[in-house]
Structure formats: C-alpha cells, structure tokens
A = this chain, B = another copy of it.
Amino acid sequence: METQKIRKLLQQVADGGVSPDEAFGRLKTLPFEDLGFAKVDHHRAMRQGFPEVIFGQGKTAAQIARIAQAIYAQGAAVLVTRVSPEKAAEVKRLMPQLAHEPEARCLSAPAKQPPPPGKGKVAVVAAGTSDLPVALEAVLTAELMGSKVERVFDVGVSGLHRLLAAADVLRSASCFVVVAGMEGALPSVVAGLVDRPVVAVPTSIGYGAAFGGLAALLGMLNSCAPGLSVVNIDNGFGGGYLAGMIDHLG
C-alpha cells in the first residue's frame, strides 16, 4: 500500500465510502514498508535491475530454479552464487534462460529492462588466481547492476609492479573491489594509491595460520589506509553490490 493509497483511504473515510472500523482493519495489517519510508526507493532500484541474490550453497537445484523463476517472472535480474558445475547444469535444465559462468560459480539472467548505467567504472582487483571465483562473483554482480567493470587480476603484493602497471585503471575507477586471501595486504596498498572507496573482500584462500580467511579479514580491518571497508570472507557478491551501488550514486 503506497502513501497515495493511505491518503485515498482516509479520503474514502472522509467521504463516507469506507467506515472507520474497516479503515482501521486495513491499516492494522498494513505492511511496514508501505509507510513511505526509504524502502520504497529501494524497491524502485530493484526493479531497475539490481540483482536479488540466491545463495546456491545448501539449496537443491529444484529450490534454486523455483526461486529464480519467481524473480525472473517479475522482470528482475537473477543472480545465483556458489553453484557447483553439476548443480548449475541441473538448474539450467529446469530454467534454460540462466547463463552459467563456471569460473564465478554463478548462474544469472539480466533484468528485462536494462538497469541505468553507473556514473563511472568499478575496478575489481584480485591478488591471486585462487581468488578469481570470488572476484568474478563481484564482477558479475556489478555488471548486472549496470556498472562498467574493469578487471585487474593477479596483482598480489609480492609483485607490486603489476599493480602499478594498471595505473590507468587506478586513476579512473569510481570505486574499487579488492579481493585477497592469505595476508590480505592488497586492499591496503590499493587504498594507499587511490582516493576513492575501496571495498575489501577477504578470501578463504590460504592454509595453516590463514585460519579460513581470518588472517586476511583481520589484516583488512586493521588497515591504516582511509577509505577502506570490509565485507565477509568470500563475499564477492557483497563487494560487487556495494561497489555497484556507489557507482550509481550522485
């Protein structure tokens, strides 16, 4: 129920077309988001192509397909993350409209109406080849939101010159998603070179004292480079979503 509908309902009460009691009943079951809060804007944004994500891990192919079809039917973009090749094949059999990106471990379909383009460019930077699945999840997410995405991959801190070789991208992107496992130092280095937001995504890549991404996570949280914030370990979607959102501001 929209703000207009509340006004209209009150008008109907004033007009005598609806009794006070009946109006009260309707107001009582009024879903929260219809009170005219920001949520409405959010919904508008969603309709414009921001993907609704389906976390594929731990769901069956049938469950994934059912949810994906419901989203697809509304014309919204579909994004399924963390799907194994086998599950992806099974889902695609049930819903052939989805495209499969095996390296990103994602299935996706664009929104019916293309989303408004971003204001600038999102750079997704990844430290090692093992970090690519998480990085590509971020790439795909931001692209589904309408952002242009530049990839700067395999630029770990032990080979800084490769990062510096991407100076053009560093200079021009409006927002950065920096993905790294092990000691997780790359986001700090990038944030020290640029003056735009850096979304750091720790990954579970590593062994021993990496403790499943904890070392990278702590490293990023303790970065002394301003403009840097952190999302959950392996949360490529979260990084890409925030970057896409920032890229659409203004």
Chain A residues within CB distance 8 Å of chain B: 6-7, 10-11, 13-14, 16, 19-21, 23-24, 27-39, 41-42, 45, 50, 53, 55, 57-59, 63, 119, 128-130, 156-162, 164-165, 167, 170-171, 174-175, 182-185, 188-189, 191-197, 199, 202, 204-235, 237-238, 241-242, 245-246, 249-250
8 contacts between A and B (CB under 8 A): A29-B167, A119-B249, A157-B224, A182-B223, A183-B219, A208-B217, A210-B232, A228-B238
Contact call B232/A221, Cβ cutoff below 8 A: yes
Contact call A188/B194, Cβ cutoff below 8 A: no
Contact call B42/A194, Cβ cutoff below 8 A: yes
List the B side residues contacting A19 at CB < 8 Å: 14
Contact call A191/B158, Cβ cutoff below 8 A: yes
Residue of B nearest to A173 (CB): B38
Measured CB to CB, the closest approach of chain B to A6, in angstroms, equals 6
Residue of B nearest to A212 (CB): B208
Which listed residue (B14, B194, B210) contacts A13, Cβ 8 A? B14
From known contacts A157-B225, A224-B182, infer whether A164 and B20 are also in contact, taking CB-CB under 8 Å.
no
